[in-house]
Structures are given as C-alpha cells and as structure tokens.
Amino acid sequence: MGSIWTAEGILPHFPPLQGEARTDVLVIGGGMAGLLCAWQLRRAGVDCLVAEERTIAGGITGNTTAKITLHHNLIYRKLLDRFGREITQGYWEANRQALEKYHRLCRDIPCGFSVQDNYIYSTSHREKLEKELSALSLLGQEAVLAEELPLPFPTCGGIRIPGQAQFHPLQFLASIARELRIYEHTSVRQLEKGGAVTDRGRIHADTVVVATHFPFWNTHGSYFLKLYQQRSYVLALEHAQALSGMYLDEQENGLSFRSHGNALLLGGGGHRTGREGGGWKELEAFAAAHYPGAAVTHRWAAQDCMSLDGIPYIGRYSRRTPNLYVAAGFNKWGMTSSMAAARILRDLITTGQSPYQAVFSPSRSMAHPQLAVNAWEAVTNLLSFSRRRCPHMGCALKWNPQERSWDCPCHGSRFSESGTRLDNPAVSDRKKC
C-alpha cells in the first residue's frame, strides 16, 4: 500500500533533461520545499529550474500527514530556554507567516484545505503543557489548555491553538507545479562552479538551492554530523471515530491523529532510521484495541531529517559557498517549514538578506548533545562488521524487517533487498554482496 495522497495519481509529469539548460537559479529536489522555493522565486521574477531525480513529490511530501501548523510540539519553551526571546520570536514569526501564506494561497487551490484546531497533548506531564502555554503567551500566540480531548485514552489535557490547517499536499503541488519549469528523472551527479552536472547533461546556473531532503554534498556544511533521520508510520482507518482537529502526543514516539474525508489517519511507531521501533505493528495493535471495527485502507511511512537543536537549516549551504543554498532538517514539520524556507531563500537570493537568516542559519553553533549521539552512531557503525555497507560514508547497514529494507543508522540512507537506493543521502545503489 502507498499513502492516501499518492493513491490518486493526480500529479503532472515532466520530461527528463537531455543535454544542456540555462537558468538563473537551479533548485535540486522536487518535493514541497523545492517546488515552493521555485514558485516563490518565479513570482519574484527570477528565472529558475527544478531538477528532480525521480518524480515530483515522490519522497517525504507524498508520505506526510499534511498538517499545517506553527505549533511544532512543545518547542517554544525549549527555544526560549536555549536561545532566548529574539531567536524564538523569529522562529514563531516565520512559521506564522508561512501558515498565513497557505491560508491565502489555498483559497484559490482546490486541495482539501480545512482550518482546524491543533492540539499537543500529554498523557502524564501536565506541567510541560503549562510551561509551553506560558511560552506561547509570551510570544503573543493565542492558545488554551483544553481539559477534555476526544481521544480513546485518558490524557492530562492538551494545548489548543486555533486557526491551523490540514490539506491534500499533492493536490496543492499539482497546481503549483504547472507554473514551473521542471525536469523529472534528472539526477544531479556533481556540483561545479556555474552549475551542475546531471546524468544526461549539464545545467548552467548562477545560484543553486539544495532541497534534496538530506543534503548530499559532504564537502561543505557538515550535514552528516548535523542531521540524523527518523522513520514514522501511518495507517488510514475506515470506520474509526471521526475527529475534529489535529492531535499529537508531546512524547517523541507518541501518537498522531487527524481525519481526511471518512478516514482517520493514525501516526506513530517511530524510531531512528536503522534502529528497531514499533512501526505499523504498534499502530495495528492500537487500532485493534481502540477502534475494533476499523479497517486499514492505506499504510505508509515517512522519513524525517532531524537537526541538532530543533530548528531547520535554511540559508547559505556553508560560509564558503556564497551562491549555494540549502533547506533541510525540518524535524517532522515539513509543510510549514517548506513554506518558511521558500520565503527565506527567495529573500536571500533576490535581496541578499532575510529577517530570519540568523534564526535558521546553517552555520550556527553545532554545540548540542545530539552532536555527540550522531558522532557515536557514525563511529560505532563504521567499526561494525558487515558485508552490507552504505555507499554514502561506509556505515554498516541494518535490516528493517517491517519494511524489508537495509537501513543506515548513521545518516538514514535506505536500500531495497536488491540494493536499489530508497532514501538519501546516498546517491547510488548499494553494491551487491
């Protein structure tokens, strides 16, 4: 089964690039972030081109739960404690503007856009909710602590933020993409001064944006240390309790709920890529216990890049790459983060500055405990004995029995049983043993 979004097959198709092309800005990656970036640049009068190695929205965008919200779990108290008021306010404001942009755009795009309340709930830590509510109040965000939630288990309540939204992401992108110059099945093999080399030719460009989910160029930026990846799983259930609103557990591997038409989308079972986790089995057991009459119509999984500090990396790829930009590390909040990234990169490319460039700077400090965890994973897996190695940086691959794939615990590349690459940052298939 695939996602409920991809089952409809509504996306337009585009030809591969044959030979050479010229553009002012090359955007590498045809997911939500890449297409929105190209769309924003085009609306600003900039000539741009999108190169997608497979088909547009064929990665994480097609496997999202498609919640549009500025409340990214209990993040604002954490940001205030770590970065202070100015950075936290900037993060909130960038996502607030992204949410408002969706509200305006989706008035004219038929994409199942629905205004919803968003809830972050807890089953055991009410004090966390109260602290987050205080942080939201300080930032000027309307929010309340809801005592009763329509979930099939007891909670300590949930923070409710009104005016958030959900939509059908591929219907939205189908409309956006038709305005753009896109080449599908066009793999960028190498970046070079003045553009990029593809598998069938060359693209000449003054500026390049890397929107490939996990940045694939290891020479600069240290993204192999700054990012790791997590798997998460979704079931679409028929004949389950209908829900108004969107719900997420504040615990890292808790459950997510939202409705789409007559289906309840149940998410959870997450784990670091390459490690064991609950997966679909955990969700199926929950559904059997709490929605005994429900039937599974679709199942899918997503993979998210996680930054060191909870803030995405949006801006110049590194200090030494003035005409190369990146959007990555969305921490499971790809819909609002993609729109925020598109606006920030548009401003940086067209004017040289953005009011949010310091908040999301990819060159900000890497001093965070997660860095040590990422380094440890890399070292231990590099030293582990295994005939199956990841072509990205040589880490030992681990077998994922639920999805029948070979996964890399270091950086999250994934491969089919036969060795075909499923997820980056690896740029090639795995060699057969």
Which tens digit of pLDDT belongs to each residue from 178-211? 999 999 999 999 999 899 999 999 999 999 999 9
pLDDT above 60 (res 334): yes
Instruction: Report the phi/psi class of residue 391: left, alpha or beta, with left for phi > 0 and alpha for psi in -120 to 50.
Output: alpha
6-64+170-223+309-360 and 369-423 in the same fold: no
Lowest mean pLDDT among 105-119, 177-191, 374-388: 374-388
pLDDT above 80 (res 55): yes
How high is the pLDDT of residue 8? 82
How high is the pLDDT of residue 258? 97
pLDDT above 80 (res 431): no
Q: 112-164+227-305: which CATH topology? A: D-Amino Acid Oxidase; Chain A, domain 2 (3.30.9)
How high is the pLDDT of residue 432? 64
pLDDT above 80 (res 152): yes
How high is the pLDDT of residue 129? 98
The pair of three-digit structure tokens given for residue 207, joined into one six-digit string: 């500026």
The pair of three-digit structure tokens given for residue 4, joined into one six-digit string: 């409920």
Q: Give the model's confidence band at 426: pLDDT under 50 very low, under 70 low, under 90 confident, else very high.
A: confident
How high is the pLDDT of residue 297? 97
Q: What is the CATH number of domain 6-64+170-223+309-360?
A: 3.50.50.60
Over residues 329-345, mean pLDDT: 98
- The answer regarding whether domain 369-423 maps to CATH 2.102.10.10 reads yes
pLDDT tens digit sequence for 2-53: 899 999 889 999 999 999 999 999 999 999 999 999 999 999 999 999 999 9
Average pLDDT of the chain, as a whole number: 95
Lowest mean pLDDT among 66-80, 303-317, 378-392: 378-392
Over residues 270-277, mean pLDDT: 91
How high is the pLDDT of residue 394? 87
For the chain, the domains span: 6-64+170-223+309-360, 112-164+227-305, 369-423
227 class by beta-carbon count within 10 Å (0-12 exposed, 13-18 middle, 19+ buried): buried
For residues 141-168, b (16+ Cβ closer than 10 Å) or e, as one string?
A: bebeebeebebeeebbbbbbbeebbbbb
pLDDT above 70 (res 289): yes
For residue 117, what is the enclosing H or E element? strand 114-121
How high is the pLDDT of residue 147? 94
pLDDT above 60 (res 164): yes
pLDDT above 60 (res 433): no
DSSP line for 183-232 = ESS--EEEEETTEEEESSEEEEEEEEEE-SSS----SSTTHHHH-EEEEE
**5 contacts 168 by C-beta, under 8 angstroms:** yes
pLDDT above 90 (res 160): yes
Calculate what percentage of the chain has a pLDDT beyond 90: 86
